[in-house]
């Protein structure tokens, strides 16, 4: 998960590094560190905590030099401590590295190095890399020769930046974890994704697996795993150039929720214009396939559940599977259209499942939000949902646009829906925020919460429960109304909040609601046709799922606000899940 950023320029890079790594903080915020090369020395500052607090304590801008790198961490191996924070030095203090990913065989490598007399200061797998390179250089290998050995010896995933105190260069190595080189005026920028430098340039070169690069102030050279030079294509990418500002909002989460009407409209317009060819291709590929198989994780998985529902109603054979369990339950062949759905485009479980599908000769059409991400580049074709950058860890507007796109696809297969007014209807939910605030005040201290749904509203029940868990720290369960009697009803007692999502006149959901009410539950009825606690103004045409999700997002936000929680940066989580 972690974010890495490196820079070589004809200026002091500490401010550039600080700004770049700040833009990557959504990838992890357990600790932060910076290393800057200056005339044969490497100076490091690092500490456990969020970037702003550590910078206030250490002042990264005091570091001087025109070559450096920075890291923001999401902990995998070792707790969030100063010693476990990156960058990591070799024992002789001549080599410094930052790393995103997980070395699966780090214990074997570590034990081998310990036997040779190397001491380890941290609990991380990453520190192994620094000592590994020191050991290789002691055996008279060049750094490039050592990198070839590392690619051969290392098992797992890695994006590594490496500096040596006697060279004003950055070496970059990549396997599965994302890595990109940005080309700006008199600057070379290395980062986990393009957003780190999209305010500075729209030109980038994307690393492929088991490639490495040598970057200096005079230029760059790419190599394959055997050390042979490679010619790489410079890509022009389109992404938000300006830093996402919080403007008048207290948190990014509420800002991004309030952007949903705008981004939904932007997507729909693009499907009729600049993305029309790709949209038509998606429709054609669905028609030619024997079945559609979605791959996704987390919030994107819930969007894919909606997509499978929409297509199923149109008679299209469709299924969705959670990426981490995909290979255990999927049947894939050349007549299968696989549709990975991902906000970041770098979700490791999705990448692994996608490799399996490609090996089975399946066609791949991805739905992404980040241009030139790994999953987009693995696909035969793709569509960008154009939700824009999300800073808050919780996915909000990206879910809405994923669902809007899937509903628009279903329309091509005779699903009857009016999408011309979707932006206005989302805005109608946002305009009722005061009602949702009052509901949040009533339930924010409850330890448990249940959300019931059927059919169209079941994926939404799952998504609302996920939001409440990750942002509000309340145990929440989203479930099928029909499964209530098979165990969960035993947990319903006086005062337990239960949200019932009743799409249209779903009388089975009405019965489920009565069942929990008779056991003392405090029910919150959300419906578009029946009377209840929150009325969603929409036709009987499939948009209820999208609009009910916006309701759930606002409810989550106001619950967390009442509890005074760190809404944009919930504990233990990161935005981009680049490890398995």
Placement of tokens 């996915």 in the chain: 395
67 is catalytic: no
Residue 50 tokens, joined: 């969020």
CA dist 133 and 128 (Å) reads 9
CB within 8 A of 552, min separation 6: which ones? 451, 460, 463, 464, 467, 468, 499
Catalytic residue among 19, 314, 575, 580: 575
Q: Are 34 and 163 in contact (CB under 8 A)?
A: no
Within the chain, how many helices (H) and strands (E) appear?
A: 18, 25
DSSP 314-383: TT--EEEEEGGGHHHH----TTEEEEEEESSS--HHHHHHHHHHHHTT-EEEEEESSTT-HHHHHSSEEE
CA dist 260 and 426 (Å) reads 7
CA dist 506 and 136 (Å) reads 67
Strands of 54-164, DSSP E: 67-73, 88-89, 95-100, 158-164
Rounded to 5 degrees, what angle do the CA atoms 27, 31, 37 make? 95
Q: Are 331 and 385 in contact (CB under 8 A)?
A: no
Give Cα separations from 367 to 140, 219, 307 (angstroms).
Answer: 47, 34, 12
Q: Are 508 and 454 in contact (CB under 8 A)?
A: yes
CA dist 179 and 194 (Å) reads 9
Q: Are 266 and 386 in contact (CB under 8 A)?
A: yes
CA dist 400 and 385 (Å) reads 9
Residue 479 tokens, joined: 């479930």
CB within 8 A of 398, min separation 6: which ones? 299, 300, 343, 369, 385, 387, 390
Q: Are 329 and 348 in contact (CB under 8 A)?
A: no
Q: Are 221 and 214 in contact (CB under 8 A)?
A: yes
Catalytic residue among 2, 67, 357, 392: 2
What three-state secondary structure class fits 546?
helix
Residue 85 tokens, joined: 């924070």
Give Cα separations from 449 to 107, 279, 474, 476, 483 (angstroms).
Answer: 42, 39, 7, 5, 16
314 is catalytic: no
What three-state secondary structure class fits 60?
helix
Show which residues are catalytic.
2, 575
């Amino acid at each position: 998960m972690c974010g890495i950023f490196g820079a070589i320029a004809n200026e002091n890079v500490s401010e550039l590094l600080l700004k770049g790594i700040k833009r990557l903080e959504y990838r992890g915020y357990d600790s932060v560190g910076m290393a800057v090369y200056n005339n044969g020395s490497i100076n490091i500052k690092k500490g456990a905590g969020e970037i702003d607090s550590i910078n206030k304590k250490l002042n990264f801008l005091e570091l001087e030099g025109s070559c450096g790198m920075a890291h923001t961490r999401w902990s995998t191996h070792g707790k969030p401590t100063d010693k476990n924070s990156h960058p990591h030095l070799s024992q002789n203090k001549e080599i410094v590295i930052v790393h995103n990913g997980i070395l699966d065989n780090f214990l074997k490598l570590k034990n081998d190095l310990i036997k040779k007399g190397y001491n380890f200061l941290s609990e991380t797998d990453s520190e192994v890399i620094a000592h590994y390179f020191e050991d290789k250089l002691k055996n008279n290998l060049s750094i490039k020769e050592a990198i070839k050995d590392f690619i051969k010896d290392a098992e797992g995933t890695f994006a590594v930046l490496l500096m040596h105190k006697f060279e004003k260069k950055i070496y970059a190595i990549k396997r599965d974890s994302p890595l990109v080189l940005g080309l700006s005026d008199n600057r070379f920028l290395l980062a986990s994704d393009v957003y780190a430098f999209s305010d500075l340039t729209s030109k980038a070169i994307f690393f492929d697996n088991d490639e490495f690069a040598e970057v200096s102030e005079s230029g760059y050279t790419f190599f394959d795993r055997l050390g042979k030079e490679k010619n790489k294509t410079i890509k022009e990418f389109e992404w938000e150039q300006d830093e996402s500002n919080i403007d008048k909002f207290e948190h990014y989460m509420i800002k991004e929720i309030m952007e949903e009407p705008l981004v939904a409209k932007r997507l729909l317009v693009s499907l009729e214009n600049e993305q029309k060819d790709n949209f038509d291709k998606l429709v054609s590929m669905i028609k030619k396939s024997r079945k559609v198989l979605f791959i996704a994780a987390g919030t994107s998985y819930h969007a894919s559940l909606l997509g499978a529902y929409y297509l199923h109603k149109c008679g299209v054979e469709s299924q969705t599977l959670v990426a981490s369990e995909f290979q255990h339950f999927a049947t894939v062949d050349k007549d299968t259209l696989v549709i990975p759905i991902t906000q970041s485009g770098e979700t490791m479980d999705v990448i692994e499942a996608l490799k399996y599908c490609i090996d089975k000769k399946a066609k791949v059409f991805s739905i992404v939000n980040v241009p030139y991400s790994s999953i987009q580049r693995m696909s035969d074709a793709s569509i960008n949902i154009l939700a824009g950058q999300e800073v808050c860890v919780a996915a909000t507007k990206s879910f809405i646009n994923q669902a809007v796109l899937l509903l628009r696809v279903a329309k091509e297969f005779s699903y009857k829906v009016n999408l011309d007014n979707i932006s206005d209807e989302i805005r109608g939910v946002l305009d009722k925020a005061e009602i949702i605030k009052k509901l949040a005040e009533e339930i924010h201290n409850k330890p448990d919460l249940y959300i019931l749904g059927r059919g169209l509203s079941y994926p939404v029940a799952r998504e609302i429960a996920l939001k409440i868990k990750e942002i509000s720290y309340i145990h929440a369960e989203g479930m099928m109304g029909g499964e209530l009697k098979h165990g969960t009803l035993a947990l319903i007692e006086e005062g337990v909040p239960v949200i019932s999502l009743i799409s249209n006149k779903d009388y089975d959901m009405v019965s489920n609601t009565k069942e929990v009410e008779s056991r003392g539950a405090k029910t919150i009825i959300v419906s578009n046709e029946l009377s209840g606690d929150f009325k969603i103004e929409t036709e009987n045409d499939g948009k209820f799922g999208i609009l009910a999700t916006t309701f759930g997002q606002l409810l989550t936000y106001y619950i967390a606000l009442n509890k005074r929680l760190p809404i944009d940066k919930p504990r233990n989580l990161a935005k981009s899940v680049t490890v398995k």
